[in-house]
Structure formats: C-alpha cells, structure tokens
Structure 1
Amino acid sequence: MEAGRDCVVEERAEEEVMVFLPDLAAKRVLYLNATRSFVYKLAAVAAHVTAVDSMQHNANEKLKDHHVDNVTFKCDDVTKLDFPSASFDLVCSSKLFENLHDPSASNLMSRVLSWLTPGGHFFLREKSYHPSVGKVVTGDGRVYRNGRKYCGMLHATTSPTSALNVTRGKNLVAYIASGDPCEVCLLAERVERETTEQLMETRYSLSFILKLEWIFGHTWVSTGGEATTREFCGHLKLRPGQRVLDVGCGAGGSAFFMARHYGIHIHGVDLSTSMINLSIDRQENLNTDDKKRIQFEICDIMKAEYASNTYDVIYSRDSILHIPNKDKLFPKLYRWLKPGGTLFTTDYFRGTGRLSQEFLSYEKKSCSAFVTMETYGATLRAAGFKEVKEQDLCDKFYDIQKEELDSFTSTREAFVDQYSQEDFDVLVNICSNKLGWVKSQQFVWGAFTAKK
C-alpha cells in the first residue's frame, strides 16, 4: 500500500513538472539520470529526447519498451558526457546531483551551459533533506543540498559570453500534500552574461533579507510585519479552504500567518531566489497541517500563467511597486481571481509634493516604478476590477516606521557585532529618508481593495 501511494505521488509530481517546463514543441531534450515513465512524457511533446542512464541494465530495460522513434537511450557516465555546443533546447536531470560532489556538479553544470542553445533551459529536480544547511554529505557519499545552494551554483555557472539565470523554482505540490515541502525543482535559462548581472543586481541577497528582518521581525520584510498583516487579514474575511495567491511573498511571513491562523491554502510567488529558498527552509519547521497548505515558487509574475478563476484572494504587500507595466499585470490578476474574489494590495506611491533628487535616486536604485494612487486605482478599474477602494496609510506608516526605527536603533550594538556599522547606517538612512519623504508628501504608503 505504501509503495502504491508513493507511485501515485510520483506520477502526480511528474505531471506537475511537465506543466512547469517550457514549451517543448519541436525542441531537442537531453534527459540525465533518466526514468522510464518521464522519458515518454517528454517524448510525447518534444521533437527528440536523448535519455542517459549510467546503468547498462536500466538502459536495456528502457529499450525493451522503446516504441517511439524520437528517443535515443544512452548508457554513460554523466560526468564524462560530451556533446557539441548548442545541441539541446532543454537539459533536464532528476535526482542526479545528490550523487555528485561539488567539483563534479559544478563541472557538469558548466558543460550543460555549453550544450544549451541560446535561450535554452536547464531543469533540475532534487530532494533537499536538510533545508536549514547548505549541504550535507551522508555516509553513503550522497550530497544533499538545499535550494539556495543549488541556486548559487547555477548563478555561478558562466562562460565568457553566457550564463545560467534561475527563472523559476518551486517545491512540488504533490509532495507538499504528503508533508514533504523539500522536493524542489529549478529552471534556469541560458542568457547573455550581462543580462544575468543586471538581473542579479535587482535581487535581494540572503544577507540583506536577514538584515531587514532586524527591522520588521522574523520572516517579515514589509512595513509593520505581523501587526499590519494581522490587521489587514482581519478585513479580508478569510475562510478555511480558500486559495490565496501571495504576489511578492518575500520571506514567507504572510503565507505562514494565513496558513496558521485561517487554514487557507497559500501560493507564494517571488522573483527573488533568496526569498523563496529561505521561505521553503522555514516551511519545513511548520506543523504538518500548515506545511501542507503552502507552496512557494520562484517566478516573474509578469511571465506566470495560472488557470482562470483559481484564487479566492490575491494578496500583495509592497511588491507591485517594482513592476512598471501594471496595466499588463492587473488584467492577469483579474483573470486568475474567482468571480466575487478579492484583490488586496499595499504599496508605495509617489505623493503630491515636489520630488527631490534624493527620492528619485532611491526610486532608480531600488528598481521601483512608483505611480500615484490615482493612477494605480485607474489602472485597476481599467483591468475590470469593481468596488475599488483606496486608503492613504501615510499617518500609520509614519508611526510604524518611527517605532521600528527606534526599536532597531536600540539593537545597534548587537547588529554591528553580527554585521557592521556601515550596514547599520545604511538601514537607518533608508528608514529616516522614508520618514522625511512622507512628511514632505513625496512618498505615500497606501492600500487598495478591489473585487472581481
């Protein structure tokens, strides 16, 4: 019975992965550490699949069932494979890298980069048994890494002209439902090296996230942390069993809070690999029921595609400000909401005061695309949202930020001991500037609620 249940879970996981992968029509695929069932799923949509297994008898077994003409089975040591440059549109692996120590793993990733066509993708699926540490080597020589470690290895894979950039990643829902959020998959794209460097500059590092939590609280990176989350969720009339999409979910605070206090299912999405990997690490520490209700995904929300009428609530805290094309985002959010569903966002906006050079410099450096509350509301209405209600929260923001800054200042000695005086001064300066910009009406914190 247990084995049968495991087979059902794995079948669901494979179907989930197929949806996760890029379009494979007319594409060439290299599948490393191939499993028979997934080979044929790939072959059903791809132009050709080269499936590699290091065990000869496994390759022979797969050949017995070889009833399609677009699969080539190959028995070889993956660390010694050699293919011409730009041979494949997709290279995928399944639980391969747990068998490779860091030098071999990094070397294979470099060769994968060379085998990919420009714009091609590398997919890997691995089991992270120890999410709280970067890497664990077991007695049998297996190497278990967490998602953050794999993201770091992928981002470090470069050539003089190209690099791997992680574009998507998630923990598999099929395994979350069985109480295991650590079955993870990642998708990286071969891009021009300059593109990767520009993208990485806009992302939060793990170190910076942990520094922000000194201000907002553990698992929080938005104004007011748990206190404002508790207040805002209290107005949303959340009910057990509902589905919520958390856009820009950060370090997981809102997802954990809603799962724990309301019994709802959360899908947290963020562009930052560090945010999502940290959230998945922390998910492992939840109780079993809460753990099963949350899925985290690395994803650019502008490139995401989810089924229409899927979510009861779409929730976002201080994140949409980073997206320039809000007129393209809001119709997507509208489509994903169920009829009668609710959109709730808090965001930073431009105020009516004269904008200082310092403020404009912060906007550019933080990769923000501030608009006025009036423009934001009009864009929501143009996307089809009804009952659009806005709330200016500047007074609340000023009081909360002042309290958070005072509290953070009182921890200076401990913070500097762990980081540096320079890091402390940077965070104090950011908070102080925001307080000044609110006073001069350059900067607004506000909330929007809208209905489908």
Structure 2
Amino acid sequence: MMEFWKEHSKFATVEEMMLDSNAQELTQHELPEILSMLPCLAGIDMLELGAGIGRYTRHLIGKARHVTAVDFMEKFVEKNRQDNSHRGNAEFIQADVTKLEFPKHSFDLIFSNWLLMYLSDQELRSLAEKMLGWLRPGGYLFFRESCFHQSGDSKRDFNPTHYRTPAHYNHLMTSVVLDESDKMGKKCYGFDMVLCKTVQTYIKMKKNQNQLCWLMQKSRRDVVEQHQGSFTTFQQFLDNQQYTRRGILRYEKMFGSGYVSTGGPSTTKEFVDMLNLTAGQKVLDVGCGIGGGDFYMAKTFGVEVLGMDLSSNMVEIAMERAVKEKLPLVQFEVSDATKRRFPEATFDVVYSRDTILHISDKRDLFTKFYSWLKPGGKLLISDYCCGEKPWSPVFQEYVNQRGYILYTPQRYGQFLSEVGFTNVKALDRTEQFIQVIKSELQRAEEMKEEFIQEFSKEDYDAIVNGWTEKLQRCETGDQRWGLFYATKD
C-alpha cells in the first residue's frame, strides 16, 4: 500500500488523491453532496481518517469544534497542515490507520472517504471495533467507498484495492459488537444503518453507480426484539429472514414484476392516481421494496422519486433494475425512516405501501413526514391494520412472531390528525384486500408449475399457505387493511 501511494502522491494534488484526471470538476459537484449527508457538525469532535491533502478537512473545520485529521502519506499530511492549520481547531497526524489508538469516547463523528477499500476484511473488522470504542454513544460513522470496480482513470501498474459489494460492507459493519460493560451494568454497542446510497455526482458525470456512502450510528445492542431471534439488528432480521433475496423474488412472482406489496401494479395505479402527480414534483417512497411503484410514477408522470428501504436486499435489486430502466429521475437508498433526516419542505408527496407496520412510534414518524412535506403536500399510505382487541390467540401469535405494531384504521387516522395533517381520510379497505388475495391465490394456481420450476414446491406452498392464513385472519376481523390520505396546509 505504501508503494502504491508513493507512486500516486508525488505532487500532493487533488488529481493524485482521487486517481482521476477530472478530479477538479468531480470535487466541485460531489463535495457538497457528500457533506449534505452528514449529521449536524456544530460543536462536535471529529476524526477524519484518510484525510489526504484536506479536500474535506477545510470544510469540516469550519463547522466542527475540533477535527483530528489522519493520513499515512507524509506529503498529504503536510499539505493538509499547510492549508488548514490556520483556524487552530485541527490536529494533523501521520499514521497507519490499522495501528491508531485513541481514548474511549473521544469523538462524535468519524468521517472516512475512500479508505476502507484499502484494508483487508480482518483489518476492517478490527478498525470497526476500534471506531465503535472511539465514538461516544449515539455518535456517527460516515464512510464512502468504491464498490465493484475502480472509478478513476489514472494508470495503475498494480492495484491493491478491495472492491467489495455494498452487501459485504453492510454485513461486516453491522455484525461488529463491542462490550462496554461497567459497574453500572452490561452495555453492548453496534452500528445501526441510518443511510446507504449512491453518489449521484458519479452517476450524472460518469454513468457510474459504484460510489456508495454509508451513515451509521453507534447504538445499544442489549435488548434484542423477540421477533428478531438471533439477529442483532432489525435490518439483519429483514435481510436474513423475512426479505431474503429468494423470498423477495418469489413475492414478486406473485405480485407482478417490480412489486412486493398488495395488489402489485393494479393497486399502485389506483392509489397513485389519487395524488394527481405533475412533472417535476418530488416524491419520497418509504419502504420502496424493489421499486416498481417508483418506476411507474417517474415514467408516467415525470416526477422525481427517492425510494428508501431498510432492507439492503430490496434496494440492491431496485438499483439493479434502475440500471436497466435508465431513469435518472429515480434514486434508491438503504435507510431507516426513523433516523433519516431531510430539510423541512423537501417533498411534494410522501408515499408508503405496507411498510409502517414495522415501526413502533408511528406518531413520531408521521411528525417527520409532516415536516418533510411542502405546504400543500400530500401523504398516501396503505398499511396492515387490526380489528379491536381482544384478538384471537392465532392472530396475537402472528403479530408477535412478525414483530408488527398494528392499530385500527380509525386510530391510525387519528395519529395523522394529531400531528397536524388535514383532510385526513382513513379508509378500511379490508374487503378490497380480501379480493386481491383471492385473485392472487387464483393466479398462483394458474402458474403453479411455472412457479415450482422457477423456485420450488416448498416455496409455492409457503406462499399459498401464507395467503390462505391471511384470508382467514381478515375474515375473522382481526387483520384489517387501511388506506390513508392526508394533506399539509
């Protein structure tokens, strides 16, 4: 690695840093994009790893209380010190990141741009454990990496870079757990995913989707939800149990190409038509799945859509489809709606299909939606609901096993009114839900041989049995399906 960077650090230029002859123009566009993904920097202590010549340092020191900038190339460190030490709130360290040591709880945010791809898996895991310790509880880790293949056009006689997949980073980083138990009790921490998304500058300027950014938060791991079993995060539960790649594709086979929610394209068209979308509007799709509804909205109405989902399996499939669709109006990200931040009045529409059943504090989430919408903005949600308690033991067991948090359609609508939405329509669409399930069961019977050939008899039986049980839960009145529409004045 030292030999590689000696070859590419002779003049300490931005072109050398980025290994790209077009570095100046790329920086002009990507720098504000990257900085916009960071949490608030005011008054915090930051560690910048792989700081290089200070492309980001100069901006970070203008906002943070203190920045510790680290790089292992002497020329880069000296250039950074020369350009950015004048403010007096930065320390510049030349060090090998794998040998770094800092006291526990030293930083609020660790920032890394193109560093982890130069570490082996073992080095990366070791560094991730150290970073968990260096961060204060609730602190953030931001990193950006090249995935799949290289991006820069600089000639390289040899290339020591590890071009991992996004899923590899997701698994490696979220599986690290640190024990910080003390006299006050047992305390374990890990990284929760807040955001994972592609760098749009590289898509627009290079048609390159291999640049990805992550924002993760140091969070407690002590209490594991009952429905998560042995998985340490809800995201791992989704990706490894409910929404495995195979599970997603078999749902799609039932719902229709691009869809994993009730009714597929037919209910999507019906519900989206209620929004009266116009070209140029911005739509946020919370729980976007594999993107069928997002592609439909962008193609049909010319709106810009940001699809977000906590399942990295879902988003990876959506991104693969986006490449084929060649629709720059649609973007996807892995993110947690309960932790994601957007400026006020960012979107014209917030749209969500059968997703919020996973989220416990619906009132808090609806408050976020209200803030993110522009005045006059619209909200449209379909979601699993429930009948009045007491529920049957069978339904209670189902809800517990899935970890769903369900309310009656009426109570759901009250939450929306309570946070400020007006013109709230809370509709019980359970009869429509029943008819959709029946038609999907009929479709399953018609495609049985094709389905079994593509998946398996076990997969077919799992789908059909699941749908049949869903019908039974609806017919007893325990399971309901709600459609919710509201506006922000």
TM-score for both structures, normalised by structure 1: 0.87
Map of 1:164 onto structure 2: 191
Q: For residues 21-60 of structure 1, what are the structure 2 equivalents within 5 Å?
A: 21-35=38-52, 36-60=54-78
Normalising to structure 2: TM-score of the pair? 0.81
Question: 1:434 offset after TM fit, Å?
Answer: 1.0
- Aligned ranges 1:70-89 → 2 under 5 Å: 70-89=89-108
2:364 alignment counterpart: 328
Mapped partners of 2:60, 2:89: distance in 1:
10
1:257 counterpart residue number: 296
Partners of 1:384 and 1:159 lie apart in 2 by 41
AA of the residue aligned to 1:31: E
Q: Structure 1 residues 395 and 6, CA, compared in 2 at 3 Å: closer, same or farther?
A: farther
Which residue of the partner structure matches residue 437 of structure 1?
473
Q: Compared with structure 1, are the counterparts of its residues 211 and 54 closer, same or farther at alpha carbon in structure 2 (3 Å cutoff)?
A: farther
Find the residue that maps to 1:20 and give its secondary structure.
Answer: coil
- Residue 309 of structure 1 aligns to a residue whose secondary structure is coil
Provide the rounded CA distance (Å) in 2 between the counterparts of 1:201 and 1:128: 21
Q: Which residue of 2 aligns with 1:146?
A: 165
Amino acid at match of 1:446: G
**Superposition pairs of residues 83-232 of structure 1, within 5 angstroms:** 83-129=102-148, 140-160=159-179, 161-178=188-205, 179-195=207-223, 197-200=232-235, 202-205=237-240, 206-207=244-245, 208-232=247-271
Q: Structure 1, residues 155-194: CA drift from partner, whole Å, max 9, x if none? A: 2222344322222222234444444444221122223333
Match of 2:343, SS? Answer: coil
After superposition, the C-alpha distances for 1:96-152 in whole angstroms (9 at most, x for unaligned) are: 122233333333323323333333322111123469xxxxxx962322223222101
Distance 1:157 1:16 in 2: 28
Aligned residue in 1 for 2:422: 386
CA distance in 1, matches of 2:128, 2:346: 36
Q: Does 1:317 align with 2:338?
A: no
> Take 1:319 and 1:250, find their aligned partners in 2: how far apart are those partners?
9
Query: 1:14 matched to which residue of 2?
Result: 31
**2: CA distance, partners of 1:271 / 1:17:** 20
Cα displacement (A) at 1:417 = 7.0
Q: Does structure 1 conserve the Cα–Cα contact (< 8 Å) formed by 2:285 and 2:351?
A: yes
Summarize the Cα distance change of 1:74–1:416 in structure 2 as closer, same or farther, 3 Å threshold: farther
- The CA deviation at 1:21 is 2.0
Alignment of 1:403-422 (within 5 A): 403-408=439-444
Helix, strand or coil at the partner of 2:177: coil
- Residue 63 of structure 1 and its aligned partner are, at CA, apart by 1.9
Across the two proteins, how many residue pairs are aligned to each other?
442
Q: Give 1:62's match in structure 2, choosing from 80, 97, 104.
A: 80
Q: Deviations over 1:54-73 (max 9, x none)?
A: 22111121122121222222
CA contact (8 A) 2:196 2:214 kept: yes
Q: Which shows bigger deviation, 297-306 or 35-44?
A: 297-306
Distance 1:450 1:422, change over 3 A: same
Secondary structure in 2 matching 1:260? helix
Q: Deviations over 1:402-440 (max 9, x none)?
A: 232344456666766776665554433321111112222
* Matched residue, 2:378: 342
- Residue 268 and residue 114 in structure 1: after superposition, are their counterparts in 2 closer, same or farther (change >3 A)? same
**AA paired with 1:428?**
V
Task: Supply the distance in 1 between the matched residues of 2:46 and 2:296 (Cα, whole angstroms).
Answer: 41
Instruction: Please say if residues 194 and 340 of structure 2, whose CA atoms lie closer than 8 Å, have aligned partners that are also in contact.
Output: no
Between the aligned partners of 1:407 and 1:139, the Cα distance in structure 2 is 54
Task: Tell me the SS of whatever aligns to 2:218.
Answer: strand
Deviations 1:372-401 (A, max 9, x none): 122222332333333333443333322222
- Of all paired residues, the percent bearing the same amino acid is 35
| Letter matched to residue 228 of structure 1 | T
